[in-house]
A and B are shown apart, each in its own frame.
Chain A
């Protein structure tokens, strides 16, 4: 009996569609959120994360409608976020059917947001999302979709977030994100050793071996990926069978 390592597909959504950000060419359409959610639910995903990457004020209603529609498709846990600035934003996302809410930039700017959400909804419903990049100062937290340095040290911020009530950490390596060169196991293991809550590794997944490494050397509790699942390059079921064959505890579909 062991707590299974989780495989979590992530849907980045903009205006009701799943998209993939391309470095210089804007966004590529990856499909319909409901259809992808239903597919992942069927294929054995352990959880789903939905992120509003546009996160504009006027797109809020559209995003909540997407949350509502996706929730209908799932009988697995479901996290949503992107642009959560106030308590009411978090409440709206949970009311629309998400089980957990992620906070990022707004929590860095006003850390009390984490405490407020945790007090109201419980730590198990609050995921602190951190975008981290290696700089001359060490591992630094970036905000506004990675556009701006916050000047905060990643390990210190992770500890503070957990002390304030975050129940999980979604850790994205900006150095690896979109590079297909594997998860940053060094970063993941460093943060995992600093906090008492589960850490979800994100950024850089390409091969099955990348997942094996992040659960081993990286000490991750869960691993997130987007495009490799959307394009059906890898099926979640095949990935889990691979991991199970190498001694990683995973939940295989019955």
Chain B
């Protein structure tokens, strides 16, 4: 099973690569549009600023290739900022466009809670989930973010509450994404990655 990890120039790819390899997947880091078009399964990892992220994709001419591959049904797992990038825009970078696969906006966490939301939190399942299959209901996942997309139909499979209920696990046709870092979430995180690999296979 070969997985293509999109390298847009800023993400922490080694930990994602290591986590996938430990589950028996082959990984390659892709930087070119033709590699995205040829990919069997894609991973879009992300840390940092929304603006740096979408600019990084655009400067490498990856945005159109990515949108096209996803419209064609290629399976993808977005991680953290990789989830947020699937939305139309983010309050973190007004004026910048996301991939707009989901026509909603990413918001800042409200000021009545600690931000960034850093640490281990639990999920609230909204429906049957592919990524959370056989993961215990009370499992904890590691989050590190200051912005989030409101949980909503039909895309959110599980929400997390921090200031407002936000999309922690998104499953929408071929689009899969998690706001937490599965590669940093111990056993539970590894289980989520394994579920993604099995779903693709």
- Interface on A for B, CB 8 Å cutoff? 1-4, 6, 41, 46, 71-72, 75-77, 94, 97, 99, 119-125, 167-168, 196-198, 221-222, 251, 253-254
Known: A75-B183, A121-B47, A167-B144. 6 other contacts (CB 8 A): A1-B161, A71-B14, A72-B18, A122-B48, A123-B146, A196-B115
25 example contacts (A-B, Cβ-Cβ < 8 A) are as follows A3-B120, A3-B121, A4-B140, A6-B120, A41-B186, A71-B15, A75-B183, A76-B185, A77-B184, A94-B12, A97-B12, A99-B184, A119-B49, A121-B47, A122-B47, A167-B144, A167-B146, A196-B111, A196-B114, A197-B118, A198-B119, A221-B114, A221-B119, A222-B119, A251-B140
Q: A197-B114, A198-B114 are in contact. Are A1 and B160 (CB under 8 A)?
A: yes
Q: How far is the CB of A39 from chain B (nearest CB, A)?
A: 14
In the complex, B189 has a CB within 8 A of chain A: yes
The interface residues of chain B lying within 8 Å CB-to-CB of A46 are 119-120
B57 interface hit (Cβ, 8 Å)? no
**B181 proximal to A (CB < 8 A):** yes
Given contacts A3-B117, A198-B118, contact A124 B146 (CB under 8 A): yes
B48 and A97: CB pair below 8 A?
no
B35 interface residue (CB < 8 Å to A): no
Residue on B nearest A100 in the bound complex, by CB: B144
Nearest-CB distance from A214 to chain B (Å)?
A: 15
Q: Is the CB of A1 within 8 A of B123?
A: yes
Chain B residues with Cβ below 8 Å from A76 are 142, 184-186
Which A residues touch B47, using CB under 8 A? Answer: 99, 121-122, 124-125
Question: B residues within 8 A CB of A121?
Answer: 10, 47-48
Q: Say yes or no: A75-B119 contact (C-beta < 8 A), given A120-B48, A124-B146, A251-B140.
A: no
A120 contact set on B, CB distance < 8 A: 48, 52
B-chain residues with CB within 8 Å of residue A197 when the two chains form the complex: 114-116, 118
B181-201 interface code vs A (CB 8 A; 1 in, 0 out)? 101111111100000000000
Q: B residues within 8 A CB of A124?
A: 47, 116, 118, 144-146
Q: Taking CB as reference atom, which chain A residue is nearest B50?
A: A122
B19 at interface, CB cutoff 8 A:
yes
CA distance A253 to B138 in the complex (A): 11
Measured CB to CB, the closest approach of chain A to B19, in angstroms, equals 6
Candidate in B118, B183, B190 with the most chain A CB atoms within 10 angstroms: B118
A254 adjacent to B121 (CB under 8 Å): no
CB-based contact A254/B187 at 8 Å: yes
